[in-house]
Every structure is written in C-alpha cells, then in structure tokens.
Chains A and B, each alone.
Chain A
C-alpha cells in the first residue's frame, strides 16, 4: 500500500488513485453513514477524503502511523468540517506530520506492526470498553451522548475509555 501511495505522490498515476479509491472508499462511506450522513453526502465525503489523500500524498510520513490511520484522520476531519464549517483546527493532525520524503523501510514495518497490535488489543477489550470506544470513533458521539445512550454516568464512560487507552498503550509497548 505504501508503494501505491508513492506512485500517487511521485508519479501522479491515475491508476494508483483508482486503486486507493477502491480500497478505502467503501470503508470511508460506511464510516460517514454511521456518523449520520445520507448515502449521497457520504459519497461526496468519500471523494473529498480520497482527493485530499491525492493532494497531500507527498506529505505523508510513515512514522506517524499507518496509511489506514492517515486516511481515517482525513475522513474524520472532513466529517467535522461538514458539521462545523467555521472551525479550521481540524486540519491540524494531518499537518503535524513532518514531511519526510522517502520512507525508510523499517518505518513501514513499524507502522504495519503498530496497526496489527492495536487491532489485536481492540479485539481483546472487555465488551463494556469496546462499546464506548466504538461509539466514540465510529458513531462520532461525544462522551456525554454516550453516557446518555448507555444510561451510565459520564464519569463511568471516561473511566472505561481510560482503561481502554491503557490497554492499547500496553499493547504497543516499544513501538510507541
């Protein structure tokens, strides 16, 4: 996948862009619809997300996370942007990345390993923790809305989130 992004970044290859679109588009669409977008809006946001990936491909830095993670941050930012057009802060997390030019091979391996460990840690979370994490990331609900939906105090939502964070950090260990 990193080769694919490099083809986008360095050669601006249309076939590379189509591949990126087909790989990530259906996931991003599912995410937008879970956050409340209708199908047409979700399709628009998919296009915006992948076009942003295209424009910024050269700024991608592998030491910051996997490509999947980068696509997620762009999709998340565009979702917020659609909700709150006036707020410019949300472009930040992409721009925190330092432009790194060529990606060292070991960084690519690290990013993949990190993603694998996070997925494994998520699969092992107790149900009550994985529910709040999913409602937060996938359904885009703030903690207060999660508390309301589950009928539990806000403090309980936060403590479950903190416990989940601890497990995820532990799973990353030396790869942080």
Chain B
C-alpha cells in the first residue's frame, strides 16, 4: 500500500501522549497500523514520553511489597484472531467484517454507520460509504476532522486520497469530498465536534444524522 497522506505531527504527538479525542484516536491509530512512516514517527515520539518519565521526581511507592504475578508471562504468538478485516482499532469497535456492516442511508449515494463512543467529549466516529461519483455536501469544521480511506478513493480541494491515506484537517478547511467515479469510497471519519454544513438541505439533515 503506497500512502501519500500522513498524520500531522501535532496529531501524532497527541496520539503518543495519549491526549487525542477518542474518536480521532481510533482513526489515527488505525492509520498507524497501515503506515510505516507514521509507525516510525509514533515510536520516536513515544520515546519522548519515556525520556520525560525518566526525568520526573520519583514518588516512593506505598510500603506494601510488590505484588507477585500469578500468571506466567504470555508466550510469543499468543495473539487473538481479529473480528474483522478493518484495521485493529476500528475492528475492535465495529466487531464484524466491512461487508457485514449495517449501513444507513445518509443522502443520495451515501451511507453511514455510526460507531457510538461513550463520553460527552469523545467526538463523533462514523464509517462512510459513497457510491462512485457521489460525495458529502460542502462543509467546514468546528474542530479537527480526521478521515482514513479504507477502500477506494476520494478527491476534494485538498487532494486525492487513496486506501490507507489519512486526511488530517483542522477547522480552517472547507471541502466537498467526492468518491472516485469508478470504485467509490469507504472511509472512517472522526470529528472532534459536528461539521458545519453549508446550504439549507444539508443543514436540515444535520440533526438527523449528527454528522
């Protein structure tokens, strides 16, 4: 898989520090599983956490003795099977293969599957499926939006995004993504806060779908 669009360094550092909004964290971590470039970046930034941890003033532990583990360490190869063909972080939440996802219509040629996350500030997480040539209405953002292409491709004002690419957008971007005319597109889409749709019809639809 040739990946052209990566996570912003600021997003990667939040992922490494563990401070990313949960919806964004799921999509960012999913991209990292597919992208060697971002895996290397994440590893570098995790060693920042380790270095800072080493510099902290040590706090003595409670006087009770260290617990003795009751289980033997895991052996290499003790990984469990994936429930789905999606990247691992998404697979855990969706729990089924992509072809078995229950899609709900969102507008002409567009379907979505909302992934519920607990917590008022967890952000919005959706799988979006667009038929060839169809797209989302033009919209801006009230916070960060992170998209990961899972199948097919799409194009917008920022560029062309293929399978594995991440579109890491901040609130200054307004765009109208359109799916590839031949193969369509399936994406994972995470928003910190609901998007701002332009035009009367999309605005009327917005509360129905929470997008």
Contacts and interface: CB of A to CB of B under 8 A. Distances in A.
Nearest to A86: B118
B119 A86 contact: yes
Interface residues of B, number: 63
Interface stretch (B75-83, B148-156, B158-166): B75-83
Contacts of B74: 55-59
B93 interface: yes
Given A27-B54, A65-B47, A118-B48, A84 B119 contact: yes
26 contacts: A12-B69, A12-B72, A18-B66, A22-B66, A25-B61, A27-B53, A29-B58, A30-B56, A30-B57, A31-B53, A51-B69, A58-B73, A59-B78, A68-B47, A71-B50, A84-B119, A86-B119, A88-B92, A95-B79, A96-B33, A99-B79, A137-B16, A137-B48, A165-B10, A165-B12, A168-B44
B89 interface: yes
Q: How large is the interface on A (under 10, 10 to 19, 20 to 34, 35 or more residues)?
A: 35 or more
Interface in B123-178: 170
A110 to B, nearest CB: 11
B18 A140 contact: yes
Contact of B10 (A43, A90, A162): A162
B48 A14 contact: no
Contact of A26 (B32, B33, B60, B68): B60
Given A58-B75, A165-B45, A30 B69 contact: no
A29 B62 CA distance: 10
Interface stretch (B21-29, B105-113, B201-209): B21-29
B39 A65 contact: no
B8 interface: yes
A38 B20 CA distance: 23
Contacts of B20: 142
Chain A interface mostly? helix
Contact of B117 (A79, A87, A141): A87
A93 interface: yes
Contacts of B17: 76, 136-137, 140
Contacts of A40: 62
A85 B67 CA distance: 23
A108 interface: no
Contact of A66 (B14, B25, B47, B61): B47
Interface in A91-149: 92-93, 95-96, 99, 101, 114-115, 118-119, 122, 133-134, 136-138, 140-143
B122 A66 contact: no
Contacts of B122: 84, 87
B39 A89 contact: no
B61 A26 contact: yes
B88 interface: yes
A71 B49 CA distance: 10
B2 interface: no
The 5 closest A-B pairs by CB, nearest first: A26-B58, A68-B50, A165-B9, A69-B50, A30-B56
